[in-house]
Amino acid sequence: MKYRYAMVCSSNQNRSMEAHCLLKREGFEVSSYGTGTHVKLPGPSLREPNVYEFGTPYKHMYEDLRRKDPELYKRNGILPMLKRNLAVKTAPQRWQENATDGYFDVVLTFEEKVFDMVVEDLHNRDHVLLKPVLIINLEVKDNHEEAAIGGRLTLALCQELEATENWEDSIDDLIIAFERQHRRKLLYSISFY
């Protein structure tokens, strides 16, 4: 694979991790992140989410929720999701704290608010390398079914990018063709490292 990819959602739990898992399995060089201030997972009610710091190991979250209410968190898919996540990497990472991870060629986000945060963050960084980075938003609802669909669409999009000679020369045509084929609207921007 010729490009480095970053998958970014709010908490680095569901949408970004589903895509990270699929791309990693297919041999892509991929990382994943969240842009939120904390990692939030559903709790027993909307007013009682489970909140963790970024960097808290997925294994710790899994064991914590299994202790609290194993039936609830198995039924709502949180325990299986965390089990998948800990097979991919140790802990959720925050996008705004990833400068030491090097640069990415392509960043995919799964929510417009996250896209805006990534674009703003890249804009505010020192542009030492003047290396272009493509940021694409594929809007995906934050539930397990939509994350699975979003992961497959992300894989298809990344395979299309890999097949191009140079994404900078063909991005407009590639985006239009993808939108037509999959009936999904994409936002994209180009920034620099």
Q: How far apart are alpha carbons 135 and 184 in whole angstroms?
A: 16
Burial class (CB in 10 A: 0-12, 13-18, 19+), 183: exposed
Distances (CA, A) of 125 to 3, 13, 57, 113: 21, 25, 28, 19
Asked if 76 and 43 count as a contact pair (C-beta separation under 8 A), the reply is: no
pLDDT for 98-150, tens place per residue?
Answer: 988 989 999 999 999 999 999 999 999 887 778 899 999 999 999 999 999 99
> What's the token pair of residue 93?
């990472």
Residue 129 confidence (pLDDT):
77
pTM of the model: 0.96
Give residue 100's pLDDT: 85
